[in-house]
Amino acid sequence: MNYRDKAAACVQHTVLPVQRQQFQECGNSLDEQYKRYGNTEGFFGKVLEPGHLYEIGYPKCVCPEAAAGTAKSPNHCECSRQSVLYILEQLLPGKTITVTTMETVLGGGECCRFRVTVE
């Protein structure tokens, strides 16, 4: 399965426009965006090293397929990792972005957490 295409289609008209608007409101700064919008019921973002290292995620699984019970394997969480990567690549064109899965709900974790490195 191509999780990259699936992830892009999932967030293209939902999460991406919201993240893009927040990013622009914050002067195109992830640091400012996560300071302002990084602690909501559905999303968290922490600045670990300004301009470079972040931890972002969701307090609970937000995947519609997991909620519907059609996705149960932790392998499916690659789709979430790819969606985070896709969104950040749209916000920060020309930057090298690495997204590493730290834990996921489907994998037995408390929440879904990803470490983001921006070069």
Residues in the chain, how many? 119
Per-residue model confidence (pLDDT) at position 1: 62
Over residues 37-84, the pLDDT tens digits come to 999 988 999 999 999 999 999 999 888 888 888 888 899 999 999 999
Q: What pTM did the predictor assign?
A: 0.93
Q: CA–CA separation, 115 vs 27, rounded Å?
A: 22
For the chain, the domains span 3-118
Q: Which pair of tokens denotes residue 82?
A: 């790819």
Res 104 pLDDT > 90: yes
For the chain, give the mean pLDDT: 94
Q: Which pair of tokens denotes residue 87?
A: 């969104």
What DSSP string runs through 45-108?
EEEEETTTEEEEEESS---HHHHHTS--SGGGGHHHHHHHHHHHHHHSTT--EEEEEEE-TTTT
